[in-house]
Structure 1
Amino acid sequence: MLALSGTGIGRGIAIGRALVLDSPQHEVPHFQIDAKRIDDEILRFNQAIAAVRQELQHLQSNLPETAPPETGAFIDVHLLMLEDPLISKEPAESIRREQINAEWAFSNHAQTLAAFFDNISDPYLRTKKDDVAQVVGRVMDILTQRAERYPNLSSMEPELTDRIIVARDLSPADAVMLRHRRMAAFVTSLGGPISHTAILARSLGIPAIVGLHGVIDTIRDQDTLIVDAASGTVLVSPDERLLKQFELLQARQHEERQALAKVGEERAATLDDQEMTLLANIELPEDLDALAGSGAAGVGLYRTEFLFMNRTEPPEEEEQYQAYSQIIKAVNGPVTIRTLDLGADKQVDGGRDEPKAAMTAALGLRAIRLCLSEPSLFKPQLRAILRAAVHGDLQIMIPMLSSLSELEQSFSLIREVCAELESEGTPFKPNIPIGGMIEVPAAAIAADLFAQKLDFLSIGTNDLIQYTLAIDRVDDAVNYLYDPLHPSVLRLVRNIIQAGKAAGIPVSMCGEMAGDPLFTRLLMGLGLRQFSMEPSQLLEIRQQVRQTRLSAVPEWIE
């Protein structure tokens, strides 16, 4: 028997035979073309882009009824990426300027776009590199005239019952299609815990292991596998004793899932009637469909970055106002909008810097630092948010605060924008709550000072853990050091919660820890009462809350 370890998605168990989907890497041809062939080559490239657009639109309009609501939104992301000039326009310019073939030109620009996502510090947004690779793969399939991405899949029976897919990577559309064919689980070499495919796997209840490097060369077709998503383990060719043990665990989990589906309508209250507030993280209006039946009390984190990405110019104020208004009108509860959290490494004014190392970007000009350095970028967003606030319960959250001077500058800009809107006679809501993301150790240590000036605090554990432990979690060489339970991290979390309590303001958490049921009781024991997470995680966290007697939870850190 062989045991392999990766990153588990969800908490399910699957037992079945491996189906290895080996999609060979594209061999990109490099050659010069004659001047008289330039127009034909550009036409070939444009036709490939159009074909992929049509393919994605067809997928979106023909999703199975069992597909989670967010599936369409994930395909929208791929369609948006297809419109990025680095993918849709600049390769054609390179073909004309350099007289090179379409595959070569496209590959060069696709690599540049992937590098920009590498340099984004937010771990969730950085995983969009996977989406870039999936879109690029579709275009390259057409340019290189590859008939099928997974040749061995077409010869299989329509139903893949008890088959565990082993692949380099899967797109969200691939995952939905394979689930529709009743695959039991999937294991991939690439991917991370917050990629779109991983989020979809959680929604679909598919046990999965991602980031298991070299798995495509280790597991053979027809191998018997046990996938234990909770531990991130794949057991290859287990003996009968292990098979029976995991079959019993699998049956128990099935019973638990049936009970879980019923908790969405129940209060998020502990056994001793202490109520918790459970909120959702979203990034696109389409994500709202996933909130149905989840019992979310509102939106604790609305990421605005996707309005600014995959374009050469930042969105106009009116476009932002319409997007924010749509969210606020649709949500039955408060909506917390995080202001722009991109770095100068992914400029939105049409210019692009040379790629930097990921952690350099994470420590550089990003988030509120970038916004304060470019008021022409920040003010239209603030205007749009204040205008949209007339439609409901909205609050502003400022990311990556590290000093009180940044806070004062932000307040000053907000006052300036309010004065402008008032003088114009434009409807807006003044004095909306303003909070801060506490994700830098300096801010966590000085949380009491920030709490005196803000209306609420939100703990961004993803970056807080990285910065506290001095690691880049997407760097395979050091990500084993990423530890949410490190004493220093827990002490900082407790300090933030206590600072908010002392100041009489709410404290929420919107990082990955908030959506992991392994940490729910610990966080409640530390005093946390508001949790914000991906919609697919809400039911399990609600169940954890309802099964906890808060008075019996010990003080975890002394």
Structure 2
Amino acid sequence: MNLQGIAAAPGIAMGPAFILQQDNSIVEKYNIDEAELEAETKRFEAKVNVAIEQLQQLIETTRHNIGDEKAKIFETHIFLLEDEELVGAAKEAILAERINAEAALDGAAQAIIAMFESMEDENLRERAADIRDVTSRVMRLLKGQDDSALTAIQEPVVLIAHDLTPSDTAQLNRNKTVGFITEIGGKTSHSAIMARSMQIPAVVGLRDAGTQVQSGDYVILDGNRGVVLVNPGPEMINHYKQLQRKDEARQAELRRFMERPSVTADGHKVELAANIGNPKDAFAAKGNGAEGIGLYRSEFLYMGRNDLPTEDEQYQAYKVVAEMFGQEQPVVIRTLDIGGDKELPYLSLPEEANPFLGYRAIRLCLDQVELFKTQLRAIVRASAFGNIKLMYPMIATLQELRQANALLNEVKAGLEQENIAFNRQMEVGMMIEVPGAAIIADQLAKEVDFFSIGTNDLVQYVMAADRMNERVSYLSEPLQPAVLRIIKQVIDAAHARGKWVGMCGEMAGNLTAVPILLGMGLDEFSMGGGSVLPVRALLNKLRYSEMRALAEEVLELVSSEEIRSYVESNVPAIAELNE
């Protein structure tokens, strides 16, 4: 039996299946007598404190086994248990609704989880895992349960679970868990990120895996292709053993590119950066060889809470990433990009018939000036601690850019008067995601330091194709000739003014697109952290002079299918890296 899931962590694992029994029982809700409410609140607080102690121990274990960067995940979990948004809301529910601690915690957590899971952005959706993880930890303590199931594994197995939290993943013994499969999750879930760091092959999002596979079944897990084979024959086992040896050699080869420069075979240098949503993601990106952050999605700081983040909260979140990458490596922070698929309930924004074309991103910020200026102050203050660059999203007109810059200048003047340090040479740029902006890129380039092309939105706007609509998915393709021509136009317009151009959409990490973008002159490629080393390995094999000729040929082709075929037939290194 062959099952298809999502490839989350590369490598091949083979062995008997072990089904992890997890507590998915419905949380019982019952009323508490008024005289017992104080005791119930104290019971809850005591278990939260025990959970914090467990996390502190887990931080030390993780640092020893995996490294400092992954331990930061659990520092964030402690922060969640010390923050009023989750724990405070649960305590309020105990007192206001006179209910037991388990039900109060479950209600508070589910409200935050539901908000994150409704978002289109995969990185933001996966942040629900943090809330789920800390909630499960406290819930087990409230129920008097322990974490013995994982530690009970005594022989090498392929672990199968409904989900694995970061805490679960950190406790895995790599000698006993050769790979794992989960029924939910995606490539950017923390369990997937940690699996890649621990070099444990993983397949996620394999629905009903726990019912299709039985404990003891012999399983082959292909983390490169997202395939799981159940009870295969001897020929298939031998085939995968050969692939396993080949794959291990490939991964070792990729790790050799960690310290190499992002340069072509004929000496053309580009920058490979990563897209992140929070400081935890930055640690993962650095561990994957990123040379900086090309897109810091600041909206994450506004989500999963009941009110706007303060200036100091934002400042600290930006500062820690800036310090992590230092003065030489850039950290590009995108200002608030709310609207479309990303909502903030506490802003009470009106419903719109077409939110992706509506009141969002820079349009909202230029309307709600105090909200915007608070964020600008935080970013500008943090610029004193690293190579921060500021970037506006969704700019459509020169007037919007000038309005945003006017507010930025007001903020800088205020900080000057307060004698607060900041980088007066901080670069300011904008995203190119609106076709109207791409058309006037030559005008916009006069008034910015850089462009970053956001292909996720640009493609759907250029092709008039909703990227969430499967019926028009054939149009939602970054290799469409119209998309490539617009990208080339933007790069040329910026370079004519001596400005650099990056790309922070998914296209930047697409191995088939990389040779074209390189040939067009793209200066910076920003992608998911796991794509950095394969892209660097590909770049090292390419010649810039040849890719310039290839890009010219591609721009004359008439379909995405033709373009894909042409590039892959002329750049054999793509197939080598995809094997």
Paired residue for 1:155?
A: 152
Deviations 1:373-419 (A, max 9, x none): 32222213222333343444332111233444432221121122223
Equivalent of residue 211 in structure 1, options 202, 205, 208: 205
More deviation in 457-466 or 31-40? 457-466
- Taking a change above 3 Å as real, the CA distance of residues 402 and 68 of structure 1, as seen in their structure-2 partners, is farther
Equivalent of residue 334 in structure 2, options 332, 338, 345: 338
Query: Is 2:379 aligned against 1:385?
Result: yes
Q: TM-score, normalised by structure 1?
A: 0.86
Distance in 1 between residues matched to 2:242 and 2:86, nearest whole Å: 49
Deviation at 1:166, TM superposition (A): 1.2
Equivalent of residue 429 in structure 2, options 431, 435, 447: 435
- Taking a change above 3 Å as real, the CA distance of residues 400 and 142 of structure 1, as seen in their structure-2 partners, is farther
Query: Is 2:298 aligned against 1:301?
Result: no
Distance in 2 between residues matched to 1:84 and 1:325, nearest whole Å: 20
Identify unmatched segments of 5+ residues in structure 2.
Answer: 557-579
- Taking a change above 3 Å as real, the CA distance of residues 140 and 253 of structure 1, as seen in their structure-2 partners, is same
Deviation at 1:169, TM superposition (A): 0.9
Equivalent of residue 407 in structure 1, options 395, 401, 406: 401
Distance in 2 between residues matched to 1:48 and 1:61, nearest whole Å: 20
- Taking a change above 3 Å as real, the CA distance of residues 236 and 68 of structure 1, as seen in their structure-2 partners, is farther
Distance in 2 between residues matched to 1:548 and 1:145, nearest whole Å: 58
Deviations 1:345-395 (A, max 9, x none): 7549xx4659989x9776665433333232222213222333343444332
Paired residue for 1:240?
A: 234
Paired residue for 2:505?
A: 511
- Taking a change above 3 Å as real, the CA distance of residues 354 and 313 of structure 1, as seen in their structure-2 partners, is closer
Deviation at 1:546, TM superposition (A): 0.7
Secondary structure in structure 2 of the residue aligned to 1:135 = helix
More deviation in 53-62 or 418-427? 418-427
Distance in 2 between residues matched to 1:79 and 1:234, nearest whole Å: 35
- Taking a change above 3 Å as real, the CA distance of residues 525 and 388 of structure 1, as seen in their structure-2 partners, is same
- Taking a change above 3 Å as real, the CA distance of residues 407 and 101 of structure 1, as seen in their structure-2 partners, is same
User: Cα RMSD between the aligned structures?
Assistant: 3.5
The count of corresponding residues between Structure 1 and Structure 2 is: 548
Secondary structure in structure 2 of the residue aligned to 1:191 = coil
Distance in 2 between residues matched to 1:44 and 1:99, nearest whole Å: 14
Deviations 1:128-187 (A, max 9, x none): 122222222222222333344x74x44321xx53x2211111112222321544422221
Tell me the amino acid that sits aligned with residue 220 of structure 1: Q
Distance in 2 between residues matched to 1:22 and 1:518, nearest whole Å: 41
Contact 1:119 1:355 in 2 (8 A): no
Deviations 1:69-89 (A, max 9, x none): 431122233233334434201
Secondary structure in structure 2 of the residue aligned to 1:238 = coil
- Which structure's relative contact order is higher, taking Cα pairs within 8 Å and 6+ residues apart? 1
Contact 1:22 1:216 in 2 (8 A): no
Distance in 1 between residues matched to 2:225 and 2:361, nearest whole Å: 34
Distance in 2 between residues matched to 1:235 and 1:478, nearest whole Å: 32
Distance in 1 between residues matched to 2:386 and 2:315, nearest whole Å: 13
Matches within 5 A, 1:90-239: 90-148=89-147, 151=149, 153-157=150-154, 160-161=155-156, 163-239=157-233
Secondary structure in structure 1 of the residue aligned to 2:294 = strand
Matches within 5 A, 1:1-150: 2-63=1-62, 65-148=64-147
Distance in 1 between residues matched to 2:351 and 2:79, nearest whole Å: 24
Distance in 2 between residues matched to 1:206 and 1:499, nearest whole Å: 45
Secondary structure in structure 2 of the residue aligned to 1:263 = coil
Tell me the amino acid that sits aligned with residue 335 of structure 1: V
Distance in 2 between residues matched to 1:133 and 1:363, nearest whole Å: 33
Query: Is 2:415 aligned against 1:416?
Result: no
Distance in 2 between residues matched to 1:480 and 1:48, nearest whole Å: 51
Contact 1:122 1:463 in 2 (8 A): no
Contact 2:509 2:526 in 1 (8 A): yes
Identify unmatched segments of 5+ residues in structure 1.
Answer: none
Matches within 5 A, 1:449-460: 449-460=443-454
Q: TM-score, normalised by structure 2?
A: 0.83
Distance in 2 between residues matched to 1:59 and 1:542, nearest whole Å: 33
Contact 1:382 1:414 in 2 (8 A): yes
- Taking a change above 3 Å as real, the CA distance of residues 216 and 293 of structure 1, as seen in their structure-2 partners, is closer
Distance in 2 between residues matched to 1:356 and 1:127, nearest whole Å: 25
